Structure 1
Amino acid sequence: MKNLLLILLLIISTGLIACDSNKDEKATVEAEGSLLIIGGGSRPDVMLDRIIEETGLDDGENYAIVLTMSGFNPDTSGYYGERQFREKGVENIRSYDFERRDSFSESAADSLKNAALIYITGGSQSRFMEAVDAVPEIAGAIENAYRTGAMIAGTSAGAAIMSKIMITGDQANYPEYTSTFYHLEKDNMVTAEGLGLIEGVIVDQHFVERARNNRLLTAVMEYPDHKGIGISESTAILVKGNSAEVVGNSQVLVYQNRSGEAGVQNGKLGARNIQLDIYLPGETFSIQ
């Protein structure tokens, strides 16, 4: 009887070890790709060179895809999205604008899944997600590429869509658009669901240049379990696993609501112990 119990315990423990091993393996698979989340503006040489280095686009075999569904004009967005890399000697690159210009075929899905770089242009994050909602396979192909080793890069609107909770830029209480928020109010910030490639954070862009502190402060009070990451223009974070490195010319501001809650009085938001860290190019921080 004792021997039987020992055998059962051995089987169970072996199974648990196998499960842990599978979890570790899954975590490794999920971390194979990288994200380059750009705060808008120009892409300096140091950023473009880093993209090319990380993705191996200079070897003549790997290729890049530019997605222009955020853009106001797909042809213009595609032209400039490609040109910045072509000027660096990258020839294996083409753009897609699914729904408006290109149909999402099986060959297009394969192109996305096997790309070394998927670059998402600026414009309107809501427009991009409308295209994805119309053809859910687009999101699946992007996620598959990311999980299996591709870099997913996005600038401005292309940065906002990276997180699961996506800032749309609209305000519920003030319908007329402004580039920043002038109030810290509950239920004012409008969000939607993004691609969710990075979780536990909310991304904001053009951050220093457009004084978007109030917007991100609202975000971390409304979603106290999330970090708020504000990225300046010509600046990006390179995310690998749980680590983010600042790449480019300027700063990245990270807000955390350490209290885990927010108060409300007459619709106005308040909180204690909100932490702000400001990171410079070359510095790293944890996104968890």
Structure 2
Amino acid sequence: MKKFILFLILFVGFFLNAQLPKGKLFIIGGGSRPDFLVDRMVNEAGLKIGDFVAIFPHASEEQDSSFYYANQQFEKRNLKTLDCAFKKDEKLSKSKLDSLKNAKLIYIGGGDQVRFMEIINSNPEVKDLLKSAYLNGKMIAGTSAGAAVMSEVMITGNQLKYKDYENTFDNIEIKNVETKQGLGFITSAVIDQHFVVRSRYNRLLSLIIENPTFKGIGIDEGTAILVKNGLVEVVGKAQVIVFKNPKKSQKIKGDKLGANSILLDIYLNGDKFTL
């Protein structure tokens, strides 16, 4: 009986490890990126001088400019870069796809996360390649919009009830936070960015009250979370805010949302937590 239990434990452990992605995520909340943050990203990706970084500038209206500014931080570290820019429904050449497969780090720039997903969804081959890279040991990094796309449920930044775009929400109301499908690297939490600087608490609170199975992770500017093996480490100069709704509490009066026992954690550089 003891041998059977031991075998069962080993089997379950092997099965769970087999399901965990072998890669890493480096998710930056936008803004400027201090040198120690970029250095940590490069080191965690296992990059050496002359290695390739694949840059995805698709979230930007001006992909050339987005690539240029991202390229500078890697060129400064004697790394080579691959510009993976393409338009909606455009196919990549075989040589570019082969180069992309060899990149140890894939970096997604800022802009509009909806624009990014529309372009990526138009090219299933590239989308599948991104998923395969993460599952098989590569690092996927992103900043701002490139952070939002990491979760399966992706905040778009738009309000459903109030059509004028605002950096932050001034309400906690039902059916107001617009979401779409992201890349799905994180399935148990929703990522928000520029979080403290732009006071985006109401947005994330609304989301976890209406969707209590998710954690809400708000990453401030100049700050990132490093995700590997289901563990999260904060890297950067500011904070990461995590909201949880463990009791699945939800109250509605009119269109206003309420809840009890919402948990709030504020993490600093070096702090760790689990997904």
> TM-score, normalised to structure 1's length?
0.89
Q: What value does the CA root-mean-square deviation take over the aligned residues?
A: 2.2
- Amino acid of the structure 1 residue aligned with 2:26: L
Q: 1:88 aligns with which of 77, 95, 118?
A: 77
CA contact (8 A) 1:259 1:271 kept: no
Q: Deviations over 1:256-277 (max 9, x none)?
A: 0122131211011111110000
Partner Cα separation in structure 1 for residue 207 and residue 48 of structure 2: 39
Partner Cα separation in structure 2 for residue 95 and residue 208 of structure 1: 31
List runs of 5+ in structure 2 lacking aligned partners. Answer: none
- Give 1:8's aligned residue: none
How many residues end up aligned between the 2 structures?
273
**Aligned in 2, Cα 1:64/1:208: closer, same or farther, shift over 3 Å?**
same
Does 2:34 match 1:44? yes
Q: Deviations over 1:226-247 (max 9, x none)?
A: 0000000000000012111111
Matched residue SS, 1:107: helix
Partner Cα separation in structure 1 for residue 88 and residue 226 of structure 2: 30
- Mean Cα displacement is larger for which, 156-165 or 45-54? 45-54
> TM-score, normalised to structure 2's length?
0.93
Partner Cα separation in structure 2 for residue 25 and residue 105 of structure 1: 35
List runs of 5+ in structure 1 lacking aligned partners. Answer: 1-11
- Give 1:134's aligned residue: 122
Shift of 1:25: 4.9
- Mean Cα displacement is larger for which, 222-231 or 97-106? 97-106
Larger gyration radius, structure 1 or structure 2 = 1
CA contact (8 A) 1:112 1:145 kept: no
Matched residue SS, 1:58: coil
- Mean Cα displacement is larger for which, 16-25 or 118-127? 16-25
Partner Cα separation in structure 2 for residue 75 and residue 129 of structure 1: 18
Partner Cα separation in structure 1 for residue 34 and residue 89 of structure 2: 29
Q: 2:55 aligns with which of 57, 66, 71?
A: 66
Counterparts of residues 103-182 of structure 1 (less than 5 Å): 103-182=91-170
Matched residue SS, 2:209: helix
Partner Cα separation in structure 1 for residue 143 and residue 12 of structure 2: 37
Partner Cα separation in structure 2 for residue 108 and residue 80 of structure 1: 21
Matched residue SS, 2:156: strand
Q: 1:241 aligns with which of 229, 236, 241?
A: 229
- Amino acid of the structure 2 residue aligned with 1:264: I
